[in-house]
Amino acid sequence: MALALAGCAKSADQVSAAYVSPMQFQGYTCQQLAQEAERISARAVALTGTQNRQAASDAVVTAVAVVIFWPAAFMVGGDNAQTAELARLKGEMEAIEQVSIHKKCGIVFRTEEAKS
């Protein structure tokens, strides 16, 4: 059972940001930073929905596997390229935010926790 749970996809809020060097955004103007942040944010929102659906699906399959049919545990999708991409996007947003602060762009970055 522990093996099956270990393979489950994480919900999007549990995916940590991967390190992305702010250096790649140093040459951007404030307007370019804002546009890039908007593009990354839109992709992250779409990917968050996909990640959360995968996590919910994995949880259901795991529950069915444990209660009804243990071979179903091998159907758990687990972490994959989506999780890695979401972590990278979160890291890019953090890097853009750092550069924006350094350049005093005044771009407002809100996290999910701040929206609630």
C-alpha span between 110 and 106 (Å, rounded): 13
Phi-psi sector, 31: left (phi>0), alpha (psi -120 to 50), beta: alpha
78: how many CB neighbours lie within 10 A of its CB? 13
Q: What is the pLDDT of residues 71-85, one digit of tens each?
A: 444 444 445 777 888
What pTM value is reported for the model? 0.67
C-alpha span between 36 and 97 (Å, rounded): 11
Q: Which helix (H) or strand (E) holds 15?
A: none
Q: What is the pLDDT of residues 28-87, one digit of tens each?
A: 999 999 999 999 988 888 888 777 777 666 554 444 444 444 444 444 444 577 788 888
Say yes or no to pLDDT of 103 above 60. Answer: yes
Say yes or no to pLDDT of 110 above 50. Answer: yes
Supply angle C-alpha 55, 39, 97, rounded to 5.
90
